[in-house]
Amino acid sequence: MIEIRSLTVQFGGVRGLNDLTADIGAKITGLVGPNGAGKTTLLNVMSGFVKRSVGTVKVDGEDLLRIAMNLRAAFGVRRTFQTEQVVENLSVWNNVAAALDNVPTGGRPRRDVIAEALDYVGLARQAERVGASLNASERRLVEIARCVLARPRLVMMDEPGAGLSESEAEHLRKVIVGVPDFCGAQVLLVDHDVDLISATCEETLVLDFGSKIAFGRTAEVLKDPKVRAAYLGEVVDVAA
Amino acid sequence: MPDLGPFVIAGLSTGAVYVLAGVGLVVLYRASGVLNLAQGALGALSALLAWQIADSGFPQWLGWIAAVAASTALALFYGRLIAPRLAHSDPIVRAVATLGFALIILGFCEFIWGEWPRSLRLPTDTVSFALLGVRVTATRAIAFGLGIAVAIGMMLFLNLTRLGLSMRALANDREISGLVGVPVLRVDAWAWVISGVLSGVSGIFLGNMVRLQVIPLTYMVIPAVAAAILGRLTSLTAVIIGGLVIGVLEAIASPFPEVAAYRSATPFVVAGLALLWYQRGGLTLSRMDQFRSVATSHQPPNSLWQELRVGIVLAIIVAIAVPYLASAYWLKTFTGVTIIALCSLSVAVLYAQLGMVSLCQYALLGVGGWVALRLYHGFHIPFEIDLLAGGLAASVFGVIFGLPALRMRGLYFALITLMIAAAFQVFISAIGFPDGGPGWSGKVYAGARQYMPHPPLAPSDAAYFRYVVGVVAIGFALVMLVQRTRAGRAWALIRRSEPVAVAMGVNIVAYKVVAFAIAGFFAGVAGALMAANIGQLDGRAFPASDSIMMFALTVIGGAFHWSGPIFAGLLLRAVPGLLTDWHIDGNLATMVFGAGLLHALITAPQGVSGQVVALGRTIGARLSAAMPKLMERKL
């Protein structure tokens, strides 16, 4: 459960986030909005890269913003970035091991935890390959494997589907949908791909200029005229 | 209490020259993102050129004009032809590249003029007036007026003119400025022109007021950097205040005998304190992904055993063969090469694993050597304990002084290490190395100096060479091992991008401290080994320039492969010997090393070792492709 209360981020004269309040309880929640709406800013506040001006964020009842940046992964908040961030001179195995180094394994053998995560995303047989040799889709999967290790509470993904082919996107979709059952974490998914959002997310939060303009069940939210005006209008017009 | 008046006046005018040089650094940094560490070298060239022209019987004013024109032309040359090739690199890379340019100019000046003491006289030296009962020469008055006027002029220029606006835009974002129609290269060129003019003018004043010698003038850039650091490399107001404060503090220390010997360390101490103050805001994450980062090794890491095997075999062959083949002189030289390789390894660990540029590793070598010598002369404990103590001391020393910058952007870390190297130079030449004397410094002032012998385990030169090879091989093996541990993986993440590392739970400062401590330890051990190789160390032999050279040669040798530091050791210790044998001026090597650093940063990030390894792979691949055919032919 993520409870966001009047979260505001001020960048000079611009409000990156404007008095955002939301209770995010669904297993997978979409976060959509036009460029500059504040989606990545919200993720960055949760990661600690951006300081909030006002407001609180609680994850499972804990005040997330009071936890030191580098301890949030161990607490259970994990994320991927818009640009892929696989370490090119480490093997797939070590890329994942590097993430496990800083989170408690819950007493299980490291080897098993890593193997399970790789198996889950479908990279079990690629473990010895070096990061530099991976294609875009494999890199995304390595990043997801790093996030789902050892009991995360919340996995945030920033446009994981960008630039993937049809079949790769299909596999990615399955991997994302399975995350809550695999490791018990909630997923917060930022993406521009409405198909991906509507296929994976039970609920969707729509931001525009840092403010919440709609929040609820994905199908209903995407029908909301305000949302269509702000963001989906063009897509619908093109389709029609 | 002595009368401080004269010292304050003298300090204000020196400070004003720091302001002048610091303003040049800041204006260029703001416009083009390059911290021009070659500014001092350009100044040295101008001062010497002005001297040469006047000395050859031409009018003095012609010399000044030619000097400033030369430094401007050279700055423009670098800014237009070389700097753009690194425009998308990390600011640290752009700054250290200018060190390559500095080395080229430095080698050239030394080649032409040498280190003879000269003096650059200005006609204004003879004109003086009294101020608060102190005689002030017109030169100092002009330096003060000019420094302040230029700084204020630059502030107005940046804030009020169109070109100034373009420069500020460029500093903010090169790509976007280009898109909105700022002529990026032209604005950049103007910034380099300003920097060139200011380096030339400040060079002439410093050549007159400090002394006219190439190396001291070249490294006058370091106090200017200190003034620039006070302004966080951006604020001109802070540079004015900072430069003047540094100048005055430095000068008023003169009449106090307790601190007078250390007074030239003032800029570095002040800059260090300023960084301590600035970092209180918390961790600043470097966004490596914005830049093409320092260069990464993309070769798949070999298995540990594979690498260790090669290393062990090589170490054994070298340890057996070299003492048989080399003359006594060359044996000592190769011992030196091996020791330097360990120090270079310490630079390489930081650079290759974390993208951190340390410009103080040779100073840390000195710290290790000092502690080992002190312990040996004081307590005659076994050499192995001296060795470890030297390593630990250098490690702790490095961490304590490097810590303020570890929470800040990488460029600041490089600069604080430069400050450490410069301060160490001042302190060690005042204190000297222990040689069996009494007191805490262990220095003999009257009587025979004592020497530190080779350790009892390895009394002869040949045995000591083998001993050193053994110790250094263990150092290399440890690095290979650590790379494959949790720390190695954390370093790899930090290299990839600091935000990613933090998001994955890495404590960035802690792992940087670990790396810096390991690197300091190796440098310190190298210092102890060096002390026992020569028997003593010379306090004047640890200038900041050697730490810079150590960095440059590590990059040239190749930081990403274990063979790189060995190449660096050979270049730094064996090549000068060869040049002497062949009667070639060693300053040519300085120029070649400068060009080599630029080459390595721009086109060959893997250095010599990368090229040798690639060549070996190609030959291997060709051979294995040709083998079956040869076999067929035989059949």
Distance, in angstroms, between A236 CA and closest chain B CA?
A: 32
Identity of the residue in A47, A90, A91 whose CB atom sits nearest the CB atom of B503:
A47
Token pair of B568 as six digits: 């660096």
A90: chain B residues, CB-CB within 8 Å: 301, 489, 492
pLDDT tens digits along A112-155: 999 999 999 998 898 888 888 888 899 999 999 999 988 899 99
Per the structure, the complete domain to which residue B473 belongs is given by: 331-477+518-578+587-618
Closest CA to B142 of B84, B89, B189, B201: B201
Q: Is residue B9 part of a domain?
A: yes
**pTM attached to this predicted model:** 0.88
Identity of the residue in B297, B300, B506 whose CB atom sits nearest the CB atom of A70:
B506
Closest CA to B398 of B432, B429, B359: B359
Residues B104 and B249 placed together within one structural domain of the fold? yes
User: How is B309-362 classified by DSSP, letter by letter?
Assistant: HHHHHHHHHHHHHHHHHS-HHHHHHHHHHHHHHHHHHHHHHHHHHH----S-HH
Residues B275 and B365 placed together within one structural domain of the fold? no
**Contact B356/B509 with Cβ under 8 angstroms?**
no
- Chain CA centroid to CA A176, Å: 10
* All structural domains of chain A: 2-82+153-239 (3.40.50.300)
Percent of all residues in chain B with a pLDDT value above 70, rounded to a whole number: 95
Residues B344 and B274 placed together within one structural domain of the fold? no
Radius of gyration of chain B (CA): 25
| Cβ distance of B298 and A87 shorter than 8 Å | no
pLDDT at B43: 92
Q: Is residue B182 part of a domain?
A: yes
Alpha helix positions (H), B407-441: 410-431
Q: Is residue B230 part of a domain?
A: yes
CA of A114: how far to CAs of A26, A32, A66, in Å? Answer: 27, 31, 29
Residues B335 and B446 placed together within one structural domain of the fold? yes
Residues B261 and B193 placed together within one structural domain of the fold? yes
Please check whether residue B290 touches A, CB under 8 A: no
Token pair of A100 as six digits: 């496990």
DSSP one-letter code for B89: B
> Whole-angstrom Cα distance, residue B377 to residue B365?
18
Residues B157 and B232 placed together within one structural domain of the fold? yes
- Chain CA centroid to CA B186, Å: 30
From B259, B281, B303, the end of a domain falls on B281
Residues B9 and B148 placed together within one structural domain of the fold? yes
Q: Give the CATH number for residue B144.
A: 1.10.3470
**Contact B357/B351 with Cβ under 8 angstroms?**
yes
Closest CA to A188 of A59, A92, A97: A59
For tokens 């091992």, the residue is B481
Residues B384 and B245 placed together within one structural domain of the fold? no
Q: Which residues contact B14 (CB under 8 A, 6 or more apart)?
A: B143, B209, B210, B247, B250, B251
From B221, B248, B281, the end of a domain falls on B281
B507: chain A residues, CB-CB within 8 Å: 70, 102
Distance, in angstroms, between B391 CA and closest chain A CA?
A: 28
pLDDT at B103: 92
pLDDT at A199: 87
- Chain CA centroid to CA B124, Å: 35
Q: Is residue B626 part of a domain?
A: no
Closest CA to B376 of B316, B454, B304: B454
Residues B14 and B106 placed together within one structural domain of the fold? yes
**Contact B506/B493 with Cβ under 8 angstroms?**
yes
Alpha helix positions (H), B118-173: 138-160, 162-172
pLDDT at B138: 83
A94: chain B residues, CB-CB within 8 Å: 489, 492
| Cβ distance of A87 and B493 shorter than 8 Å | yes
Closest CA to B368 of B349, B344, B389: B389
**Contact A143/A86 with Cβ under 8 angstroms?**
yes
User: Nearest-5° angle of CA B4, CA B10, CA B12?
Assistant: 100
Cα atoms in the Cβ-side hemisphere of radius 13 Å centred on B98: 32
**Contact A216/A203 with Cβ under 8 angstroms?**
yes
pLDDT at B537: 85
User: Nearest-5° angle of CA A39, CA A40, CA A45?
Assistant: 105
Please check whether residue A50 touches B, CB under 8 A: no
**Contact B549/B572 with Cβ under 8 angstroms?**
yes
| Cβ distance of A70 and B502 shorter than 8 Å | yes
User: How is B562-626 classified by DSSP, letter by letter?
Assistant: THHHHHHHIIIIIHHHHHHHTT--HHHHHHHHHHHHHHHHHT-TTHHHHHHHHHHHHHHHHHHHH
From B248, B281, B314, the end of a domain falls on B281
Distance, in angstroms, between A239 CA and closest chain B CA?
A: 33
Identity of the residue in A49, A86, A103 whose CB atom sits nearest the CB atom of B499:
A49
Residues B178 and B85 placed together within one structural domain of the fold? yes
**Contact A202/A217 with Cβ under 8 angstroms?**
yes
Helix axes B39-55, B221-230, angle to 10 degrees: 140
| Cβ distance of A98 and B297 shorter than 8 Å | no
Span A67-76, mean pLDDT? 90
Please check whether residue B297 touches A, CB under 8 A: yes
pLDDT tens digits along B451-497: 888 888 888 888 999 999 999 999 999 998 898 889 999 998 888 88
Please check whether residue B285 touches A, CB under 8 A: yes
Q: Number of Cβ pairs closer than 8 Å across A and B?
A: 80
Distance, in angstroms, between A151 CA and closest chain B CA?
A: 14
A89: chain B residues, CB-CB within 8 Å: 296-301, 492
A146: chain B residues, CB-CB within 8 Å: 504
CA of B220: how far to CAs of B14, B231, B422, in Å? Answer: 11, 18, 10
Least confident of A26-30, A65-69, A122-126, B228-232: B228-232
Identity of the residue in A48, A49, A94 whose CB atom sits nearest the CB atom of B489:
A94
Q: Is residue B193 part of a domain?
A: yes
Please check whether residue A87 touches B, CB under 8 A: yes
Token pair of A93 as six digits: 């195995």
Residues B348 and B232 placed together within one structural domain of the fold? no
Residue of chain B whose alpha carbon sits nearest to that of A149: B504
Preferred mutation among A79, A101, A126, A149 to probe B, highest tally of B CBs within 10 A = A101
Token pair of B332 as six digits: 């000592």
> Whole-angstrom Cα distance, residue B171 to residue B159?
13
Cβ atoms within 10 Å of B136's Cβ, excluding its own: 19
**Contact B371/B524 with Cβ under 8 angstroms?**
yes
Tally the domains of chain B.
Answer: 2
Three-class DSSP category at A153: coil
Give the neighbor-by-neighbor strand order of the sheet with A14-24.
Answer: A14-24, A2-11, A54-59, A62-63
- Chain CA centroid to CA B491, Å: 23
In terms of residues, how long is chain B? Answer: 635
Paired sense of beta strands A154-158 and A2-11, if any: unpaired
Positions of E strands within B180-251: none
Q: Which residues contact B420 (CB under 8 A, 6 or more apart)?
A: B268, B272, B360, B363, B398, B401, B402
User: Nearest-5° angle of CA A51, CA A54, CA A60?
Assistant: 80
At position B498, the amino acid (one-letter code) is: E
Alpha helix positions (H), B1-125: 5-32, 39-55, 60-77, 91-113
> How much of chain A is in helix, strand and coil states, percent to nearest 5?
45, 25, 30
**Phi, psi dihedral angles at B291 (to 5 degrees):** -120, 160
Please check whether residue A178 touches B, CB under 8 A: no
Distance, in angstroms, between A237 CA and closest chain B CA?
A: 31
B300: chain A residues, CB-CB within 8 Å: 89, 91, 130, 132
A88: chain B residues, CB-CB within 8 Å: 296, 298, 496
Please check whether residue A105 touches B, CB under 8 A: no
The residue ranges of chain B whose pLDDT is under 50 are 288-294, 298
At position B408, the amino acid (one-letter code) is: M
> Whole-angstrom Cα distance, residue A98 to residue A94?
6
Residues B250 and B351 placed together within one structural domain of the fold? no
Identity of the residue in B296, B489, B507 whose CB atom sits nearest the CB atom of A88:
B296
Q: Is residue B608 part of a domain?
A: yes
Please check whether residue B121 touches A, CB under 8 A: no
Residue A38 pLDDT exceeds 50: yes
Distance, in angstroms, between B291 CA and closest chain A CA?
A: 13
Paired sense of beta strands A2-11 and B128-131, if any: unpaired
Closest CA to B594 of B30, B96, B51, B3: B96
Residue of chain A whose alpha carbon sits nearest to that of B492: A87
| Cβ distance of B507 and A70 shorter than 8 Å | yes
Q: Write down the mean pLDDT value for chain A.
A: 87
Q: Is residue B446 part of a domain?
A: yes
Q: Is residue B155 part of a domain?
A: yes
Please check whether residue A82 touches B, CB under 8 A: no
Please check whether residue A69 touches B, CB under 8 A: yes
Please check whether residue A12 touches B, CB under 8 A: no
